[in-house]
């Protein structure tokens, strides 16, 4: 099932074409563990979504972080889907850990640190018997001599395609005499600018970084499929390295280091373990009891957006969080998705949010007018919220709301 879901999402060209071969290579890579954390800023999402207790929210699970970040802020029902069974397993493990680990400190050690042998004992003693059979089999499976769960003893944030890609960039920096972690010592915007100009900016002139930016194969490690890579290149007038430089510069310079956990993961490969200020909301001690009390509001499914929506009643959902999934889609796939979104959206109170590699929403160009007309694009709000997104890796953030039926 995993292969079929991914193939339907990512394959747009025949295997015999060069693009088709790249799509199948991406599918092969994406079948593994990609994201150890989600790279969409939940504070921006929550500002756009304005969640209320009666809302039913459909979202892509990814690393499972934002499901819990939303839950820490609002008492809404959250339905999480993902094409990738690895991300489903990670999300379900986080939910089980919240329910069954003995205290906040053990939960933080598991998912905030992810580098302690005690995590394996906690898994065996507290979690294994509580997991569904599929999730248990996933974490118990041996990869070489070790069980998968042992990544929580050896460094969760060093694993997955994304973790290894960030590690590769750190190796490139060290080979040029740069230690990216030095940027985390910056105390203010001026020091951040100096650190960027000294530690990071010179790397974009290196042959290794230029090669990485020009190769779609390299960026597959970021979960960027061929169609999204094309959008990235298009948004930079063919100069991918320039747009990547601009986004890394924004990550390094535009937001304070003290609470930007995206910057800490990119430049330090860890959260702020000393002060615990640059950590996601779901890992904060003050949210622990609230999250435990709201766990029953979350369900997790290995499914595609369209397949799940087709099984739902009309006007039964209020919020749709699509991440960057539409960058993967052909015009036909996009139309099928929005037909189901429009059918299942509450006509009095529905919103859709998503991100894109480029700055513009793909809907005016790709979506038939009859599907787009019922939806209002909040362009100014989208631009303002995009500027507030601490992850800094996307070109655009977009908010649509359903026009009420007359």
pLDDT at 6: 46
CA 170 to centroid of chain Cα atoms: 21
What are the DSSP calls for 339-376, one per residue? HHHHHHB-TTS-EEEEEESSSS-SHHHHS-HHHHTTEE
pLDDT at residue number 225: 63
Residue 81, SS3 per DSSP: strand
Q: Do the Cβ atoms of 19 and 9 come closer than 8 Å?
A: no
Asked, for residue 125, whether it belongs to a domain, the answer is no
Q: Is 83 inside a domain boundary?
A: no
**Residue in this structure with the two tokens 């105390």, named with its chain if needed:** 187
Q: What is the pLDDT of residue 351?
A: 98
Say what the pLDDT of residue 243 is.
82
Query: E strands of 84-241, at which residues?
Result: 142-143, 146-147
CB 185 within 8 A of CB 179: no
Domain extent for 182 = 160-268
92 membership: H or E segment, kind and range: helix 85-100
Q: Residue 17: CA atoms inside 13 Å, Cβ hemisphere, count?
A: 8
pLDDT score at 219: 59
Terminal C-alpha separation, the chain? 41
Note the pLDDT tens digit of each residue in 66-85: 999 999 999 999 999 998 89
Degrees, nearest 5: CA angle 158-161-165: 70
Assigned domain for 221 exists: yes
Can you tell me the distance from the alpha carbon of 323 to that of 60, in angstroms, rounded to the nearest whole number?
7
Stretches in the chain below the pLDDT threshold 50? 1-2, 4-7, 10-11, 15, 18-19
In degrees rounded to 5, what are phi and psi of residue 158?
-100, -5
Mind listing the pLDDT tens digit for each residue in 281-299? 999 999 999 999 999 999 9
Q: What total number of domains does the chain contain?
A: 1
DSSP letters spanning 282-306: GGSGGGHHHHHHHGGGEEEEE--HH
Q: Contact, 259 vs 277, CB < 8 A?
A: yes
Does the residue 154 lie in any domain?
no
For the record, the structure tokens of 392 come out as: 């800094």
Distance CA 25, CA 28 (A): 5
Nearest-angstrom CA–CA distance, 115 and 100:
20
Residue 249 lies in a domain: yes
């Amino acid at each position: 099932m995993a292969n079929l879901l991914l193939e339907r999402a990512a394959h747009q060209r025949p295997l015999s074409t060069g693009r088709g071969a790249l799509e199948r290579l991406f599918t092969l890579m994406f079948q593994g563990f990609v994201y150890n954390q989600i790279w969409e800023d939940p504070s921006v999402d929550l500002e756009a979504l304005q969640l209320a207790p009666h809302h039913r929210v459909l979202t892509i699970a990814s690393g499972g972080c934002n499901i819990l970040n939303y839950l820490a802020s609002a008492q809404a029902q959250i339905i999480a889907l993902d094409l990738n069974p690895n991300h489903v397993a990670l999300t379900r493990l986080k939910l089980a850990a919240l329910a069954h680990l003995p205290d906040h400190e053990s939960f933080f050690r598991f998912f905030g640190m992810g580098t302690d042998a005690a995590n394996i004992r906690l898994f065996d003693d507290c979690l294994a018997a509580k997991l569904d059979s599929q999730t248990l089999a996933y974490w118990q499976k041996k990869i070489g001599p070790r069980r998968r769960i042992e990544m929580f003893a050896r460094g969760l944030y060093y694993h997955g395609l994304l973790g290894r890609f960030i590690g590769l960039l750190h190796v490139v920096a060290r080979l040029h005499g740069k230690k990216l972690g030095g940027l985390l010592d910056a105390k203010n915007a001026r020091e951040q600018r100096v650190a960027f100009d000294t530690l990071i900016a010179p790397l974009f002139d290196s042959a290794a970084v230029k090669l990485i930016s020009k190769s779609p194969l390299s960026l597959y490690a970021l979960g960027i499929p061929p169609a999204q890579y094309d959008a990235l290149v298009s948004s930079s007038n063919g100069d991918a390295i320039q747009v990547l430089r601009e986004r890394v510069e924004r990550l390094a310079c535009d937001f304070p280091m003290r609470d930007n956990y995206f910057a800490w993961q990119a430049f330090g490969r860890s959260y702020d373990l000393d002060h615990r200020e640059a950590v996601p909301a779901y890992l904060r001690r003050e949210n622990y009891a609230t999250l435990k009390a709201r766990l029953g509001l979350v369900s997790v499914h290995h499914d595609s957006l369209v397949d799940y929506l087709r099984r739902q009643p009309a006007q039964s959902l209020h919020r749709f969080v699509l991440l960057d999934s539409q960058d993967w889609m052909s015009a036909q796939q996009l139309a099928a998705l929005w037909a189901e979104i429009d059918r299942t959206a509450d006509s009095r109170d529905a919103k859709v949010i998503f991100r894109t590699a480029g700055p513009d929403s793909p809907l005016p160009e790709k979506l038939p007018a009859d599907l787009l007309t019922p939806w209002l694009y909040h362009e100014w709000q989208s631009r303002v919220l995009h500027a507030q997104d601490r992850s800094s890796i996307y070109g655009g953030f977009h908010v649509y709301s359903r026009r009420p039926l007359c």
